[in-house]
A and B are shown apart, each in its own frame.
Chain A
Amino acid sequence: MPEVHYKITLCDGTSCIRKQSKQIHQILDQELRKRNLKEVVSVHLSGCLGMCAKGPILIINPGYVMYGNITEADIPEIVESHLVHDTPVARLMVEENHLYNRFFRIFGDVDFFGKQMRITLRNCGIIDPENIDDYLSVRGYEALAKVLTDMKPEQVVSEVKKSGLRGRGGAGFPTGMKWEFTAKQPAGEKYVICNADEGDPGAFMDRSAIEGDPHTVLEGMIIGGYAVGSSRGVVYIRAEYPLAIKRLEKAIAAAREHGFLGQNILGSNFSFDIEIRLGAGAFVCGEETALIHSIEGSRGMPRPRPPFPAVSGLFGRPTLINNVETWANIPVIILDGGEWFSGIGTQGSKGTKVFALAGKVRNTGLVEVPMGTTLREIVFDIGGGIPNGRKFKAVQTGGPSGGCLPEPYLDTPIDYESLAKAGSIMGSGGMIVIDEDSCMVNIARFFIEFTQSESCGKCAPCREGTRRMLEILTRITEGKGCPEDIDKLERLGAMIKKSSLCGLGQSAPNPILSTIKNFREEYEEHVNQKKCRAGVCAAMLSYTINDNCVGCGACKRACPVNAIDGTRKEKHHIDPNKCIKCGQCYSVCKFSAVAKA
């Protein structure tokens, strides 16, 4: 098979589509066929490349030549001149210097990456995170230099406001506004905190960002400190991330050595230093006020707000807290401009979001896409769909605080408002794909078990209420549910949401309420018919041996309670009274002779 000599990437973002990129694709196809180049030239569609002003965009590799503002008429010339005669068409080429684009140049030909837009993760996988020179070579700390030499603190705040960036930790509060509140507080001791206590099970965005590109977070924080008038930064990072901690420590030391941290940074009047504080295994410490109490050396328990951290936070001082991902966006906003940033995404949700795609999906990993990308695109286009021929059942977003969205919601665009309207939340970016082999009731139980074990115990609705919800769900999955149970779950859930002290309690009922809303039949089956259609809730399953059995005896040997009877070469039989439903026989049978129902 002949080698592919050229790879063409066509931007398939909304803007470019409107500008006829689809027609361009068609013409391109025709031209390649005409010249017999189809075998040596591959054509790919990418996600929005963020260069909408110059669209439609066409990129040819190797060489990373970018053509912009092209029309259908330009295609024959491009194919002839560039592909046949190896001569790029100079008049159609455009220069494009956005920070994040370097990743695309290197990995854009890989489908999984080509469909993403990596702003936050722009350097991950490209630079050596333990070498500050690598970071400097990709314009590292240039944003800081620009801020310190050319911008007043108010201008920095204004740029962040212009960008429309919203907090990436989950709450989605407008970042610029938060910076403005903190900056407005009287001058004096103020703090800047990076919340790296990523505790959502299934989320690893912040870990990867810090492990892959710690300096961008530091740079963001230093700029933040300048903007709000703080000289002290703290990164609160969970102790379960030893590599991230090590890389952060190294980065801080290197930054100090190079004069990016410490007194009179880059010769200015501005001084800033950063300290690392470790968490110790408490999910609730991801909540702002609990995090503050943890840094103060106390139990990580939240407190009522107001007062908000911007007014009275760490040690009672004005404090700016932002998530890792939020900080990582700051250097980009400064260098590429808040206006450019606000051109990406939707009306209410600007920029990109990193999702940790995991679960029953072919391609798992970190996916960074512009806001507005649909769930379908992420799960099927980028994620590659459900493996093993199974059917899609639901996608869970927002971790244990979020909801489960079934098939009808796949075209929901990812943004704060749309996801909330659909009954879930953006959260910190966890996205778990669920197929038909998962039981929604069990999944709801799994999430409430997590939040219950992480409840700090301060307020009664969360401490007691989530335990009662867990008990009800456990009973239901054990086949002991009663009809009132679903109503009780809804009643408790609604009360816990509205009465709890902090976000953990307020969002703990979400998985339960959303699964009841979207999968009520499954609940009713569990409760009324004692049936689990996904075959997961062991107590309601029965294992039987069917006619496929050849009598090999593997199941009999595997059974821990000797519940299987049978002679060699004859159909075996499971005694339902002894069976403990461990599923060992099911997993060892090579003949699909054990049926679960």
Chain B
Amino acid sequence: MDKKITIYINSKEYKVSPNQTIMQAADHLGFHIPRLCYHPKLSIEGACRVCIVEVEGMRNFVASCAYPVSDGMKIHTNTQELRRARRDIVELLVDNHPMDCHTCERDGNCELQRLASSMGIRARHFVGQRKQYGRDLSGQAVIRDPDKCILCGRCVRMCSEIQQVHNLTQAHRGFDTVVMPAYNMPMAESVCTACGQCINVCPTAAFLEKNYTQELFEKLNDPNLIKVAQFAPSVRAAIGEAFGLEAGHNMEGQLVAALRKLGFNYVFDTQFSADLTIMEEATEFLERIQNKGKLPMITSCSSAWMKCMEQFYPDLIENISTCKSPMSMQSALAKTFFAQKIGVDPKKIFSVAAMCCTAKKYEAARPELDVEGMRATDIVVTTREIAWMIKSAGIDFLNIEPETQDHPIGMSSGAGVIFGTTGGVMEASIRTAYELYTGQTLVDIEVESIRGLKGIKEGKVVMDGQEIRVAVAHGLGNACKLLDVVRKDPGRYHFVEIMGCPGGCVGGGGQPYAGVNSIPLDEDALMKRAEALYSIDRAKTIRRSYDNPDIQKLYKEYLQRPGSPIAHKLLHTHYKQKFPQGIIPKEALK
């Protein structure tokens, strides 16, 4: 235990631990110092100068996020001069920002707006030239609006330090600084994996997902279409936050009801196809084990991870499971098996997915995922978008009577639920693989060692005397670290789960924005959302994918068995190396 030191904040004495910054000490003591570029998970910039405080003996103000406390330090956090300086600094940011709050996506939920309001900016003294770069709407999933950027640098740090995709940089200098991909190329041509974490950390609307709500409203009003919906596990665990609830409320029933009220003819559940994915993937895994196929096998449900892999780890393509993601499996079935079942022309089926994920918008557009010449998933909307649609349609989401999903592709086991959190896919797979392989029941169905928010987790299961070593990584940065190990030591693991977002899908790029009292990537919120999913799992009577009666029916009636030719046709895909600008094929480098 460090010996405590004495500091003074606003003339009162406090004893605090050394080895921390003024901001950390103040936070612990309950003094809130306003801030903008600071984030506990990202490196310290000290750039915004909003968190400045006065330290006696220093001629100038210091950034409290960076300045360490020392014994005897006298700090003032709220003098008139400081308040005025902070106010002027925020005004300078506002003066170089479009004045269109009313028509902005983040109206009411924008950190700049909140800061300006809390600083009491009621007059604008320093109006001058404003930047005008125009928006980049090329991306299928993530769009950029540099005019709204206040250069906090969070997105660059997120993309480089945590996701390690390094797509973004601050370019040029001074007043002309802009955040952009290399060469200012359109996002669609860049190495962007569409993970959407930049949107999560952005304090303004400089990054947004591509919005399909208007188009969806139109389709929902089209009587000639059969509108089918699916929604990811993580959506039900987080959508409540968009309606003012704390993180971790399971709103599954309400969401099903709301989707029906919006106009969907059938409301299914991605958790069903999560179960399906387990069936196919566990079978694929066991085949590789038995026939000495390519190991370790690496999961493929994270679309951001898929793009990342095709760009940076193409040598591991053969390791990737050929299974499509649950969303794409679901949509494929909707337009084949389900269309057949209700006797409808597949072209009339309009398949919509409500996802916690932005990369799924990119995935839906991949031509390899088409079925019978049609696009499988027609529209993907994020949790944020569907929440807005529900509000916009005047649906009383919090008080609506919960409903249940439709058969035949809407029911799920507990294994399907936990797909949304890091370690969940692996745990679900183990539950089935073990029992398929050994024929025995897995007693310890919850695999603790691969749960939780540690970046890279390891575990092992002994199946009939054979030790199966597994690893789980969440966040693309951790994924890259893990895969560098796999490249060097391919025998180290048998099965690897990768989720592109920190925390897994519960932390996806499409989840509700952090509220007034929390920060993006708040670990507490992630844990609460994950816990919601684990509780749903625990509450279910059926907890293994192959116990799901609708899954059994699907195979009996249509797919025959996992890995069958028809299963391969509809539920499996292939990958190939991608060369966005800036990545040169190795042969060309010689």
Contact = CB atoms under 8 A, between A and B. Distances in A.
Nearest to B44: A304
A465 B92 contact: yes
A506 B153 CA distance: 21
A5 interface: no
Contacts of A461: 49, 89, 92
B174 A499 contact: no
Contact of A499 (B60, B128, B170, B175): B60
B125 interface: yes
Interface string A459-488: 111011101100100000000000000001
B47 interface: yes
A509 to B, nearest CB: 12
Contacts of A497: 60
B170 A491 contact: no
B48 interface: yes
Given A304-B67, A467-B128, A501 B49 contact: yes
B448 interface: no
Contact of A452 (B89, B125, B174): B174
A464 B177 contact: no
Contacts of A306: 67-68
A499 B61 contact: yes
B161 interface: no
B175 A452 contact: yes
A249 interface: no
B12 interface: no
Given A465-B92, A488-B126, A492-B126, A457 B174 contact: yes
A459 B67 contact: no
Given A452-B174, A468-B95, A488 B60 contact: no
B331 interface: no
Interface string B165-178: 00000101111110
A304 B63 contact: yes
A464 B44 contact: no
B302 interface: no
A499 B173 contact: no
Given A282-B173, A304-B67, A458-B47, A491 B129 contact: no
A501 B61 CA distance: 9
Majority secondary structure of chain B interface residues (helix, strand, loop or mixed): loop
Contact of B93 (A282, A464, A498): A464
Nearest to A451: B174
Interface string A292-309: 000000010001101000
A455 B125 contact: no
A46 to B, nearest CB: 39
- Quick one: which of B49, B66, B84, B93 has the most chain A CB within 10 A? B49
Given A457-B170, A458-B45, A464 B84 contact: no
Interface in B108-150: 125-126, 128-129, 150
Interface residues of B, number: 39
A555 interface: no
A498 B61 contact: yes
A464 B96 contact: yes
A453 interface: yes
A454 interface: yes
A500 interface: yes
B76 to A, nearest CB: 13
Contacts of B175: 452, 455, 457, 463-464, 467
A331 B45 CA distance: 39
B151 interface: yes
A498 to B, nearest CB: 5
A456 interface: yes
A463 B49 contact: no
Contact of B151 (A304, A453, A457, A492): A457
B88 interface: yes
Contact of B128 (A282, A460, A468, A501): A468
Nearest to A303: B46
Given A492-B126, A498-B61, A457 B89 contact: no
A467 B46 contact: no
Interface in A486-521: 488, 491-492, 495, 497-501, 506
A515 B84 CA distance: 24
B463 interface: no
A299 B170 contact: yes
A501 B125 contact: no
Contacts of A299: 170, 173
Contacts of A492: 88, 126
A459 B150 CA distance: 10
Interface in A295-352: 299, 303-304, 306
A457 B173 contact: yes
A298 to B, nearest CB: 10
A460 B174 contact: no
A299 B156 CA distance: 13
B85 A499 contact: yes
Interface in A415-470: 452-461, 463-465, 467-468
A173 to B, nearest CB: 14
B415 interface: no
A239 to B, nearest CB: 16
B176 A457 contact: yes
Report which residue of A304, A460, A467 has the largest number of chain B beta carbons within 10 angstroms of its beta carbon: A460
B69 to A, nearest CB: 11
B84 A495 contact: yes
A460 B49 contact: yes
Interface string B277-304: 0000000000000000000000000000
Contacts of B46: 303-304, 459, 501
B92 A468 contact: yes
A304 B22 CA distance: 13
A575 B564 CA distance: 92
Contact of B49 (A455, A456, A459): A459
Interface in B143-201: 150-151, 153, 170, 172-177
A463 B48 contact: no
A460 B63 contact: no
B52 interface: yes
Contacts of B62: 304
B173 A464 contact: no
Nearest to A282: B173
A459 B48 contact: yes
A464 B174 CA distance: 8
A288 B133 CA distance: 32
A471 B129 CA distance: 8
A123 to B, nearest CB: 38
Interface in B54-89: 59-63, 66-68, 81, 84-85, 88-89
**Most interface-central of A464, A500, A506 (chain B CB within 10 A):** A464
Contacts of B67: 304, 306
A5 to B, nearest CB: 58
A304 B49 CA distance: 11
A98 B174 CA distance: 47
Contacts of B52: 499
A459 B89 CA distance: 10
Contacts of B153: 458
Contact of B66 (A304, A452, A471): A304
A506 B60 contact: yes
B48 A460 contact: yes
A284 to B, nearest CB: 8
Nearest to B65: A304
Contacts of A468: 92, 95, 126, 128
A24 B487 CA distance: 87
Contact of A460 (B89, B125, B129): B89
Nearest to A307: B68
Given A453-B174, A458-B47, 14 more contacts: A299-B170, A304-B44, A455-B175, A464-B96, A464-B175, A468-B92, A468-B128, A471-B128, A491-B88, A492-B88, A495-B85, A498-B85, A499-B60, A499-B85
6 contacts: A282-B173, A304-B62, A459-B46, A460-B49, A464-B93, A499-B60
The 3 A-B pairs of least Cβ separation, nearest first, read A304-B46, A457-B177, A304-B66
